[in-house]
Amino acid sequence: MRTLNFGEIEVPEEKIIHFKEGIPGFPQIRKFAILEIESLKPFHYLQSLEDPPIALLVVNPFLLQSSYQFEVSEKEAEELQADKPEEISIFAVATIPTDPSEATINLMAPILINDRNRCGKQVILLESHYSVRHPLFTAPSKNGVESE
């Protein structure tokens, strides 16, 4: 498959992630793969395998926001066919504009992936205080303490 950002790639069947309902904004796209690019770590790309120009920059939100928390509902765990929480990887979509200091991360709609069976789902945390445009980088305050 030829991608816009990464040229020709080959994704083995066992690495394909299936999103039964697609993801918001791209409901028609059901097959994705996580592309791990060493020079971008801890970031990865969630690459569409059905619409090659679509590639979302994602990151484990807990690496950047240690206070981030939410619970996977029984319904979501069932949809992902997860037997235990450890089977689920969590990602958040990051957006990095021309000015990197304005980069944001979508903490309101994490992407859950069952590592065992390669099922994925993006959930929307409607009753949370998280934002779809949470600042990725925190700025030091005047007293030297970082603010979020």
Q: Sign of the C-alpha dihedral, residues 33, 34, 36, 39?
A: positive
**Mapping DSSP to helix (H, G, I), strand (E, B) and coil, where does residue 69 land?**
coil
Whole-model pTM over 0.95: no
pLDDT digits (tens, 9 = 90+) for 48-88: 999 999 999 999 999 988 899 988 888 888 899 988 888 89
Q: Can you read off the two tokens belonging to residue 93?
A: 């979509």
Domain ranges of the chain: 2-135
How far apart, in whole angstroms, are the C-alpha atoms of residue 108 and residue 96? 17
pLDDT confidence bin for 141, thresholds 50/70/90: very low
Alpha-carbon radius of gyration of the chain: 16
Predicted local distance difference test score (pLDDT) of residue 17: 97
Q: What is the mean pLDDT of residues 122-126?
A: 92
pLDDT confidence bin for 139, thresholds 50/70/90: low
Please give the helix or strand (H or E) that residue 76 lies within, else none. Answer: helix 74-79
Fold of the domain spanning 2-135: BH3618-like (2.30.290)
Per the model's pLDDT, the better-predicted residue between 120 and 10 turns out to be 120
| C-alpha dist (Å) from residue 112 to 78, 106, 137 | 12, 13, 23
